[in-house]
Structure 1
């Protein structure tokens, strides 16, 4: 089969779902892993129990190792930008745990008979450049011939075991801060459908969460997660459930990227966003004025989104608070 020229390829046309919107639905995923228990270890600080962003193991008194992996289908057509976004997204899991990445390896799935080799090189170059910006070496990886292109990284990080940012450390009275605006899922869906490019969305996805993580730790935060494929409401639900609290969101305080609301209103709704909303709706009380469009925006499947921190973070808007557990785990006002 003759491969097309690089200029003729729209990478997003080869993906059934773009970026983190291609994740398995959260409810289905939880059912898959229910009851799976590995080797018990007193050194395991964070594992599968509460759906944290990464696993953490104590090495010795003041050092923990963080391990994570993340990869996905093309979220944009530009291969270099896709590589940058995928790398930033994978590194984010370490930052979301309060860690510093120290090593990454590539994961590449590539249809070698359908796509030019130079496109894969550009994807890898984008990932390498972002990892270099993070001060994280990239040392090899693994590749397979796959009908659908996918790219990401497995990342190892380090952190102080007593200063991890965890899902289960939320407490009543803590404000909720969000360090990147929402709307990435719907803008990416519009890009996939129309070819329109949204530079602000690309820049947001490629931005590292390193500074946000450092600011959260400096402010004394101990509870955080990043906002990716399960949307703001999905990740907040997991955090509130693990912490035994209710999370209250003021929908008017949530920041959005320019054009996101218009894209959602025009029908550019990722399938992952609808699945996210269906998952959290039974556990959420939506108060008057929070219509379906607002609900879908809050559940929008993000790719390489910001950190959601239980605590105040300089420069990040406060979008709600944690309160004592009520009947509903989430409340949206």
Structure 2
């Protein structure tokens, strides 16, 4: 090449040296431990909650195309490692643990990966978190649990702890137990799959208020979803949402309550298993509120994938039994039409 001066040549040499330095410090694939080779099948599953085969053949194809985004910041983290980083976070709830497991991945990088992967799994919610098309089969399965007819789901709320979000509305997220949380509404089926989730309400919002404002309630009122939900006494009794009798006076009412407790226990078990598979839901999530909601929904999607592949049966026993004490509150929102329907329902079936 032709250089007009010695200074131009020196500048060219220095520029090439700087380029080589930048290339030598780029992250490449060998900077990471390869979990597929490093861990045994059991060790891999205990860390990432899925088998190697399901991660490669089921989970990765769901989001791979969206993660194959080339940036101008050197070599990006490969999609498979981004997926594993997110799965490790869901199963630990700690950025530091992930940083230790995968060397040369900074905590800010982990945070960005968790945010991105969680959002992509949220986009799959309508595919994986939904009521089955054949509700008659669901009613039969629920009936086999406690001889309670017409049930298509059990509903309950659960609090996901978060750090103080700050700002002028922070106290809205403080729940009745005095810690900050997201109050998440869950509807589950007889096989402990999640059929519906609302994961964006502050901890101070009551369970019944969440349901009253939900899309699910409107669908049930319009007959789009045909069946009955079972909820605890914190909900208002409706024709499509039956609650326990607070003070049973007849044998029929006592039988109704026993069947109600036994059948509704599925939602308590679902929440327990869900949180046990993904411990991040039991810790104070330190992500921003939007990402926190995405993490909650993403884990519900992954949980249903777990259930559909039968890989969590061994941890279903979480201490709940069919005699779980009924959660009776004095804040039941009474509905005259709903109470009348419940009375006739008990007379007819119990």
Normalising by the smaller structure, the TM-score range is under 0.3
Of structures 1 and 2, the larger Rg is shown by: 2
Structure with the higher strand share, 1 or 2: 1
Structure with the higher helix share, 1 or 2: 2
TM-score with structure 1 length normalisation?
Answer: 0.22
TM-score with structure 2 length normalisation?
Answer: 0.22
